[in-house]
Amino acid sequence: MTSAVQAAQAPIRVVIADDIPELRALLWVALQGRGFELVGEAGDGGEALRLAAGAQPDAVVLDLGMPGTDGPDLIAELRRRSPAVKVVALSAFAAEELRGAAMTHGAHAYLDKDVDPDDLVATLRDVCGRGLAPRRELREPEPPPAPPAGPLGHAGDELERVWSSLAAAPVATALVGPDGRFLKVNAALCALVGHSEAALLAAGFAAVVHPEDRDNDLEQLKRLLGGEVTGYQLQERCRRIDGEAISVLCNTWLVTNHRGEPLHLDGHGRPRHVVRQLVDLRESRHPEDQLAWRATHDALTGLPNRGLFLDRLEMTLARLGRDPGLAAVLVLDLDRFKEVAERIGDDAVDRLLVAVAGRLRSILRPSDTVSRFGSDEFAVLCPDLGHERDAVRLAERVSAGLTTPFAVGGQEVVVSASIGIALSGPRARRADSLLFDADAAMQRAKQRGGGIYELFDDAVRAQLVERLELEQALRRAVDADELRVLYQPIVSLKEGRLVGVEALARWEQPGRGLVLPAEFVPFAEESGLIVPLGAWVLEEACRQAARWRGAPARPPTMHVNLSPRQFAEPHLVDLVAGALADTGTDPDRLCLEVTERALAANPASAATTLKRLSALGVRVSVDDFGTGYSSLASLQYLPISSLKIDRTFVARLDLDPEDDAMVAAVVGLAHTLGLAVIAEGVETPRQLAKLDELGCDYAQGYLFARPETAGRVGELLGQDPRWQ
């Protein structure tokens, strides 16, 4: 063999110089197994110079941006000390000036840092005089070598030598034929998947790949065997013998000679053998592998995260663009999850979410991808559907499957989910838009009470557009002075005079007129806009309460509603204290109304907040009593001054004896506990007479007055004897 032939077949010796160890590792992953030998790594310019002189590499892959180093000058010094070394410069900046300086100072090639691995391989081979042979030569079958003994058949001694260099690798490694059969497996692979060597050799690579990832892997393998790429890297899952799914980084490359040519071709000129390495991302010793897994998976459940889900969805839609078919995206949100979480505690919540993830995987098809987007929201990609009804059936299976109680922390927990479904098609060709449509359908399912599925259609689209327009308009409403506060009087039944008012927000939207609270308050609560909106109402109400201090009659107590979301805000007490101080309002003239449900959601936290509010001197009333989960007995230890009987019970007074008895019981027990009782929604004299008979203390409703402007209430305070 001539020295020229020997040189052509020898591996290309490379030094990689970069100050970031993770990037050095990634560069070596791109070169590994493709005819290169790593002879050194350098973290700075001085080390690069020493390695180039001592190790005598064929090439140095050099980062131009290492701290304390002038890239072009370093190239010049490298060329001066080691004239035979080829320099491939890398930079994160694509500036032409830097490219020109690098080439002028002696670089043989200049590449961006995010270079495609194939381009890096090709560039190094070119500058080292080892470029690929023309493609027509690769299409000509090589004469088969004498077959050795063993499963490699006609692969020959060269393949045996390749395997001998890989067999002892600490990483799970296999030599695989074009039909997917294992030809060789090492001990690390057997340990990873829990199968014996004999069992793996009798099976194929597909047997250890998770069913959800097989199609994607097969598509990439076809590109590799078709000559489009010489290697690829995928994050996927392999399955152990016990059924556990393990996230791995799968590196796959062709078995080639030192010229980059496949060692053996089939009768059609296609490569015959590939190497597979599976890096266990749970315990990887390579930081870049761990970072890659964490960047694409949910740490709690191990499910793909939103980014990886969108990647898979984009690949599915791209395939459907070539081969017509149908895919669906399901977005699931667990119903009343916050209440469940507060009831069972943080540790149990984590176990519940892991259990939900496992239940979803067991319910859905092997080809479906289940992802967790965060908190209690999950998404499912369903490729290869035959009809719209297939997606509906999957949603029905999920709904039914979640109804079986979960055993968490010694207790049974039952959950349900609101599910939105969106189908691929002419109007849903982008991954983000399809996911957006599914989320909109899920929101509609939740609005309808939860525990159901909703298919995205024109009605959902119209509602979505309306909601987006409403959100944008509501965000502008405060700054545009479109919000108003009206005040509804609260009357003492014993004294027959006005003793308080409830502050109620109203929205006068230009071009639309009055927007009813039922239209925008629930949306504001859901979107989070209720927090700034509620803060504005509190400030306005306190300011008005301060103005009424000079009224001829005793100034009324100002009642201000706190939504559940406001009440859960960590800075609520500071907000109230600030409003009192800024407006000069007497704390005892302010009464904050909190719904029964808000108190029941997290009793311990609620008690702390109420005690802090009481310390400010403000009063607290329980709103909508009778519609939540509390009992008067549970409220007796909280600093509460009054409670409001919900209007639904008032409306049936003197019509339903059971409601009469319930109201009577509430009034009696409340008085025993020292609490005043306010009835809301009083509209008829019969209701008023019954409330007076039952001993109710206060009332409000249209029978007395509708919500009024501050000016009108001021008139009532100063002139109308009914209110004095």
Give the three-class secondary structure for 210.
coil
Residue 708's alpha-carbon distances to 296, 486, 505, 624, in angstroms, are 55, 5, 11, 22
Would residue 301 count as lying in a domain?
Answer: no
CATH code of the domain in which 571 resides: 3.20.20.450
Would residue 634 count as lying in a domain?
Answer: yes
3-state secondary structure 328-392: EEEEEEECCHHHHHHHHCHHHHHHHHHHHHHHHHHHCCCCCEEEEEECCEEEEEEEEECCHHHHH
pLDDT tens-digit series, residues 374-430 = 889 999 999 888 888 888 888 998 988 888 888 776 778 889 999 999 988 766 568
pLDDT at site 155: 43
Whether residue 149 is predicted with pLDDT greater than 50 in this model: the reply is: no
Distance CA 455, CA 23 (A): 45
Residue 576 binned pLDDT confidence (cut-offs 50, 70, 90):
very high
**What strands lie across the sheet with 182-185, from one edge to the other?**
182-185, 172-176, 274-280, 245-254, 231-239
Whether residue 649 is predicted with pLDDT greater than 80 in this model: the reply is: yes
Whether residues 486 and 417 fall in one domain: no
Mean pLDDT, to the nearest integer, of 85-113? 75
pLDDT at site 232: 74
Whether residue 478 is predicted with pLDDT greater than 90 in this model: the reply is: no
Q: Find out whether 269 and 144 touch, Cβ atoms under 8 Å.
A: no
Whether residues 683 and 707 fall in one domain: yes
Whether residues 500 and 596 fall in one domain: yes
Residue type, 628: G
Would residue 401 count as lying in a domain?
Answer: yes
Whether residue 527 is predicted with pLDDT greater than 80 in this model: the reply is: no
Distance CA 606, CA 568 (A): 8
pLDDT tens-digit series, residues 282-333 = 665 455 555 666 677 787 787 888 888 888 888 888 888 777 788 899 999 9
pLDDT tens-digit series, residues 198-231 = 888 887 787 888 877 777 788 778 777 777 666 6
Whether residue 266 is predicted with pLDDT greater than 60 in this model: the reply is: no
Residue 444's alpha-carbon distances to 140, 440, 565, in angstroms, are 61, 6, 20
Whether residues 172 and 215 fall in one domain: yes
Distance CA 642, CA 222 (A): 73
Backbone dihedral angles phi then psi of residue 129, each to the nearest 5 degrees:
75, 25
Residue 456 binned pLDDT confidence (cut-offs 50, 70, 90):
confident
pLDDT at site 243: 73
3-state helix, strand, coil in the chain (%, to 5): 45, 25, 30
Backbone dihedral angles phi then psi of residue 496, each to the nearest 5 degrees:
70, 30
Would residue 462 count as lying in a domain?
Answer: no
- End position of a domain, from candidates 398, 426, 456: 456
Whether residues 392 and 261 fall in one domain: no
Q: Please report where in the chains the tokens 């409330």 appear, as a residue.
A: 691
Whether residues 644 and 519 fall in one domain: yes
Domain count, the chain: 4
Residue 311: both structure tokens together? 């990647």
Q: Find out whether 430 and 317 touch, Cβ atoms under 8 Å.
A: yes
Of 269 and 572, which is predicted with more confidence? 572
Would residue 253 count as lying in a domain?
Answer: yes
* Rg, Å, the chain Cα set: 36
Whether residue 260 is predicted with pLDDT greater than 60 in this model: the reply is: no
Would residue 463 count as lying in a domain?
Answer: no
Total residue length of the chain: 724
Q: Find out whether 248 and 280 touch, Cβ atoms under 8 Å.
A: yes
Per DSSP, the residues of 465-522 read HHHHHHHHHHHHHTTTT-EEEEEEEEEETTTTEEEEEEEEEEEEETTTEEEPHHHHHH
Residue 354 binned pLDDT confidence (cut-offs 50, 70, 90):
confident
- End position of a domain, from candidates 85, 109, 131: 131
Whether residues 603 and 717 fall in one domain: yes
Residue 70: both structure tokens together? 């002038």
How many Cβ atoms are within 10 Å of 80's Cβ, its own excluded?
10
End-to-end Cα, the chain, rounded Å: 116
Whether residues 517 and 429 fall in one domain: no
CB-side neighbour CA atoms (13 Å) of 511 = 2
Nearest to 376 by CA among 411, 417, 348: 417
Per DSSP, the residues of 653-722 read TTT-HHHHHHHHHHHHHHHHTT-EEEEE---SHHHHHHHHHHT--EEESTTT---B-HHHHHHHHHT-GG
Would residue 465 count as lying in a domain?
Answer: no
Whether residues 543 and 420 fall in one domain: no
Nearest to 684 by CA among 651, 649, 661: 651
Nearest to 341 by CA among 259, 295, 276, 408: 408
Residue 6 binned pLDDT confidence (cut-offs 50, 70, 90):
very low
Instruction: Determine the structural domain holding residue 194 and report its residue range.
Output: 138-296
Distance CA 682, CA 696 (A): 12
Q: Per mean pLDDT, which range of 18-32, 76-90, 500-514, 679-693 is the poorest? A: 18-32
Whether residues 282 and 311 fall in one domain: no
Whether residues 591 and 643 fall in one domain: yes
Distance CA 494, CA 702 (A): 19
Q: What percent of the chain has pLDDT over 70?
A: 81
pLDDT at site 477: 74
- Angle between helix axes 517-527 and 530-547 (nearest 10 degrees) is 120
Distance CA 47, CA 557 (A): 78
- Report the run of H or E that residue 186 belongs to, with start and end: none
Whether residue 38 is predicted with pLDDT greater than 60 in this model: the reply is: yes
Would residue 78 count as lying in a domain?
Answer: yes
Mean pLDDT, to the nearest integer, of 182-193? 88
CATH code of the domain in which 276 resides: 3.30.450.20
pLDDT at site 133: 33
CATH code of the domain in which 61 resides: 3.40.50.2300
Whether residues 548 and 433 fall in one domain: no
Beta bridge partners of 487: 503, 708
Of 73 and 479, which is predicted with more confidence? 73
pLDDT at site 542: 94
Q: Find out whether 632 and 640 touch, Cβ atoms under 8 Å.
A: no
Give the three-class secondary structure for 257.
coil
Per DSSP, the residues of 515-559 read EPHHHHHHHHHHHTTHHHHHHHHHHHHHHHHHHGGGSSSPPPEEE
Q: Please report where in the chains the tokens 């490699």 appear, as a residue.
A: 152
Q: Find out whether 246 and 282 touch, Cβ atoms under 8 Å.
A: yes
Residue 111: both structure tokens together? 């590449």
Distance CA 647, CA 691 (A): 12
Residue 58's alpha-carbon distances to 63, 131, 468, in angstroms, are 17, 14, 60
Beta bridge partners of 590: 558
Beta bridge partners of 454: 420
CATH code of the domain in which 337 resides: 3.30.70.270
- End position of a domain, from candidates 296, 320, 340: 296
Backbone dihedral angles phi then psi of residue 412, each to the nearest 5 degrees:
-95, 130
Whether residue 708 is predicted with pLDDT greater than 70 in this model: the reply is: yes
